[in-house]
Amino acid sequence: MAKIMKINVLSAALFGAGMTAVVMTAPAFAEEGVKLVIDGEELTTEVAPQEGNPLDPVRSGWTFRSEETQALETDDFENPGFPLVDYGEELWNTADGSTGKSCASCHGDASESMKGVRASMPKWNKEKNTLFTLEDYINLSREEHQGAKPWKWESQEMLGMTAYIGLQSRGMPVNVSIDGPAKEWFEKGKKMYYTRYGQLDLACAQCHEDNQGTMIRADHLSQGQINGFPTYRFKWSGLGSIHRRFKGCMDNIRAEPFKRGSDEFTALELYVAWRGQGLSVETPAVRN
Amino acid sequence: MAAPKPRVKVPKKASKGEVITIKTLISHPMESGQRKDKKGEVIPRQIINKFTCEYNGQVVFSCDLEPAVSANPYLEFNAKVEDSGTFKFTWLDDDGSTYSTENKLTVE
Amino acid sequence: MTLTRREALGLTAGAAAFLTLAPRIAFAAAEETEAAIKAFTGGATPASGKVSLDTPEIAENGNTVPVGVSVESPMTADNYVESVMILADGNPAPGVATFHFTAMSGIAEAKTRIRLAKTQNVIAIAKMSDGSTFMDKKEVKVTIGGCGG
């Protein structure tokens, strides 16, 4: 217990130091205007904001990383997220549950049926009358159509499937709808973005809007875009979900984090996705 | 969790005497033996400790790995090819399991 | 930006916590690294030259640091690079990986990704088929993420 408290104090202290820009060294950032090209296809990593978006320009987290980190995303073989994408593809074609159906039994070729899906998530589900993340849609299919047990949010199965489905939208612009009943969730997410949380009393906006591009200790603060999720993070040594990343931020500011899949994180996901409208989907991205 | 899965990238064709680049990656946590679980107990070491690349039965390149190699170990190296044949790649796990995969190459 | 009282308090307490935590972590001593080099070379002191390490000056995260090594050699049946040992002198143990080449490798080059627990030296020692050894050493600064994230 005592040790845990010490570590918390330590991270708070280091955080404080970062905010005053006490930084000795910084990684070699890639030159301005470097293009993200994957297998000959150029992705949009910088785009003008739509009306109401305070970010100008809107920039992918890729543009904030060092050359070495950036390079790993430009080659699908070197990208360490791909073994799990392969696993997702395998699961797509594997029968599961009481009906003996696979995803492919109903949805066929994912490269056609799932194209654009990631780009529009989270999305209003009329039938269920609530906002649905990609994970929610996958588990709905598993429970109601396959007769299978839902996957845990952060399981290898769920990450493999979200990565495989997400990859089918790679290169397409993020384009979430905030119209109709989704508007209320959007507003809730927006309110959260600007609300201070935790013992460090920080809002998302203080780091990812006001201080984007500056150094927080030796780290280059990004806009907190989510266009590359699930993302392979070196820190995680694996792929992780959007909600895991949100939870990580809340832990760091010493706040009581919301649960993965909670209404709070789903609302925040919609708002943060909207802040990245127009950026290419990069799933599975590579970050530090 | 899915079983460790090897991936290799080898050209399908090469000219005689050409030096080709080979990239390999296997999904594996490379548990270092340095970490502790939530109860404070050390998680035992379990890594890929040996990798071998053979071409037509002859060793081209091999590598001994320690826990300081990153999760999902990546290796890139070269091979000089004179004749058509088959590459065999083998990864050896601390638990005694071996994972292997083969790739054919045509030398023109 | 000015520090709030809370942040200032955290800063002092944090520095104290760091001092008490740091000595508990054991890292590979210089002697251990030295011993590993001697064991590999058979007691000889490696010369400089021929082998070169390619590492980032600064790594964004110590979990995945790309490392490349290349050795000048004709790579013929009677004159080739036998092996290259990679060490990291600031990890809990210095060993990282040993690459074994053959004349069939064509060129003595290899790349991998390694873990570095903190800022330290990465060392490559090449052993040639005639038994001679060469060494290169590069410091890699390992940064700690923003708020520990």
Question: Which of C88, C109, C115 faces B78 most closely, judged by CB atoms?
Answer: C109
In a domain, A189, yes or no: no
A119 CB-side CA count, 13 A = 17
User: Could you tell me if residue C37 is inside a domain?
Assistant: yes
Distance between CA atoms of A249 and C52, rounded to whole angstroms? 39
Interchain proximity C95–B68, CB inside 8 Å:
yes
C5 touches chain B (CB under 8 A): no
Which residue is it, tokens 């790579």? C75
User: CA separation (Å) from A287 to A25, A72, A172?
Assistant: 19, 9, 20
Which regions of chain B does DSSP assign to beta strands (E)?
Answer: 6-9, 13-14, 18-26, 48-55, 58-65, 74-81, 85-93, 98-107
pLDDT attached to residue A258 = 97
CA distance A167 to A116: 9
A70 neighbourhood in chain C, CB within 8 Å? none
Say if C68 falls within a structural domain.
Answer: yes
Where in the sequence is the domain holding C36, given as residue range(s)?
27-142
CA dist., res. C66 & res. A68, Å (int): 7
Size of interface B-C (CB pairs under 8 A): 94
C-alpha A39/C-alpha C138 separation (Å) is 32
pLDDT value at position A30?
58
Task: Determine, yes or no, domain membership for C94.
Answer: yes
Cα B68 from Cα C97, distance rounded (Å):
8
Which residues are CB-neighbours of A259 under 8 A, at least 6 positions away?
A: A265
8 Å CB contact of B29 and A84: no
- Chains contacting chain C through 3 or more C-beta pairs under 8 A: A, B
For residue A152, being part of any structural domain is answered with yes
Residue B27's closest CA among A112, A163, C106, A218?
Answer: A163
Q: What is the pLDDT of residues C7-55, one digit of tens each?
A: 444 444 444 444 444 444 456 678 899 999 999 999 999 999 999 999 9
C87-103 pLDDT tens trace? 999 999 999 999 999 99
User: Is the residue at C52 inside a domain?
Assistant: yes
Q: Which of A77, A234, A246, A286 to mutate to test the interface with C (most CBs of C within 10 A)?
A: A234
Contact predicate C121/C139, CB 8 Å: yes
Interface of B with A (CB under 8 A): 1-2, 5, 7, 9, 23, 25-27, 29, 70-72, 74
- Measuring CA to CA, which residue among A178, A169, A155, A154 is closest to residue A272? A178
Cα distance between residue C100 and residue C110, in whole Å = 10
Nearest to A288 among C6, C12, C60 (CB): C60
Distance of alpha carbon A178 from alpha carbon A193, whole angstroms: 16
Q: What is the CATH number of the domain that holds C90?
A: 2.60.40.2470
pLDDT given at position C13: 45
CA distance A45 to A63: 7
CATH number assigned to the domain comprising residue A133: 1.10.760.10
Q: Count up the domains in chain C and report the number.
A: 1
- Note whether residue C149 is domain-resident: no
When CB atoms are compared, the residue of A83, A90, A160 closest to B7 is A83
DSSP C75: -
- Backbone φ and ψ for A11, nearest 5 degrees, come out as -65, -35
Phi and psi at A228, nearest 5°, equal -110, 15
**Helix, strand or coil, per DSSP, at residue A252:** helix
Contact A80 B25 (CB under 8 A): yes
Q: What percent of chain B has pLDDT over 90?
A: 86
Nearest CA in chain B to A72: B74
What does the angle CA A25 – CA A222 – CA A152 come to, to the nearest 5 degrees?
A: 115
Q: What is the 3-state secondary structure (H, E, C) of A133-198?
A: CHHHHHHHHHHHHHCCCCCCCCCHHHHHHHHHHHHCCCCCECCCCCCCCHHHHHHHHHHHHCCCEC
CA distances (Å), B27 to each of A185, B30, C57, in order?
Answer: 38, 9, 27
Nearest CA in chain A to B3: A87
Cα–Cα distance between C137 and A89 in angstroms, integer?
42
Residue A90 lies in a domain: yes
* Yes or no, beta carbons of B62 and C100 under 8 Å apart: yes
* Cα separation, A288 vs C64, whole angstroms: 8
- Do residues C138 and C149 make contact, with C-beta atoms less than 8 angstroms apart? no
* Pairwise CA distance, residues A167 & A38, whole Å: 12
Does the interface ipTM go beyond 0.85? Answer: yes
Q: What is the pLDDT of residues A89-108, one digit of tens each?
A: 999 999 999 999 999 999 99
Instruction: Give the C-alpha separation, C26 to C37, whole Å.
Output: 20
For residue A11 the two structure tokens come to 């991270």
Selected for mutation to probe chain B from A69, A72, A76, A78 (highest B CB count within 10 Å) is A78
Which two three-digit tokens encode residue A117?
């899906």
| pLDDT attached to residue B2 | 64
Active-site residue, A106 included: no
Q: Which helix (H) or strand (E) holds C9?
A: helix C5-21
In contact, A228 and A174? CB cutoff 8 Å: no
Q: Which of B7, B71, B72 sits opposite A77 (nearest CB)?
A: B7
- Which residues of B make CB contacts under 8 Å with C? 19-20, 32, 34, 55, 58-71, 73-80
Å between C114 CA and nearest CA of chain A: 11
The neighbours of chain B, by the rule of 3 or more Cβ pairs under 8 Å, are A, C
Q: Residue A153's domain spans which residues? A: 82-167
Which residue bears the tokens 């910084």? Answer: A26
Average pLDDT over residues C129-142: 96
Q: Give a yes or no: residue A118 inside a domain.
A: yes
Asked, for residue A98, whether it belongs to a domain, the answer is yes
Enumerate residue ranges in chain A where pLDDT < 70: 1-32
Question: pLDDT tens digits for C51-90?
Answer: 999 999 999 899 999 999 999 999 999 999 999 999 999 9
Is the Cβ pair A14, C13 closer than 8 Å?
Answer: no
CB proximity list for A182: less than 8 A, separation 6 or greater: A123, A124, A131, A270
Residue C14 lies in a domain: no
Average pLDDT of the segment spanning B56-77: 96
C-alpha span between A150 and A152 (Å, rounded): 7
Q: Identify whether A151 is part of a domain.
A: yes
Domain count, chain A: 1
pLDDT of residue C10: 47
Mutation for testing the B interface, residue in A82, A89, A236, A288 having most B CBs under 10 Å: A82
pLDDT class for C147, splitting at 50, 70, 90? low
Structure tokens at A149: 């047990």
Note whether A285 and A231 are within 8 A (CB): yes
| Partner residue opposite C17 with nearest CB, options A9, A18, A200 | A9
Q: Are A226 and A273 in contact (CB under 8 A)?
A: yes
Name A66's bridge partners. Answer: A29
Q: What is the pTM of this model?
A: 0.86
C105-134 pLDDT, tens per residue?
999 999 999 999 999 999 999 999 999 999
**Angstrom distance (rounded) from CA A196 to CA A253:** 10
Residues of chain A contacting residue B7, judged by C-beta atoms under 8 Å apart: 77, 82-83, 86
Is C21 inside any structural domain? no
State both tokens at B34: 């340095």
The pLDDT value given to residue C9: 46
Question: Residue A26: inside a domain, yes or no?
Answer: no
Residue pLDDT, tens place only, B3-52:
788 999 999 999 999 999 999 999 999 999 988 888 999 999 999 999 99
Determine the Cα–Cα distance for residues A208 and A252; give it in Å rounded to an integer.
14
Domains of chain B with bracketed CATH:
6-107 (2.60.40.10)
- Please return the burial class of C127, using the count of CB atoms within 10 Å of its CB with bins 0-12, 13-18 and 19+: buried
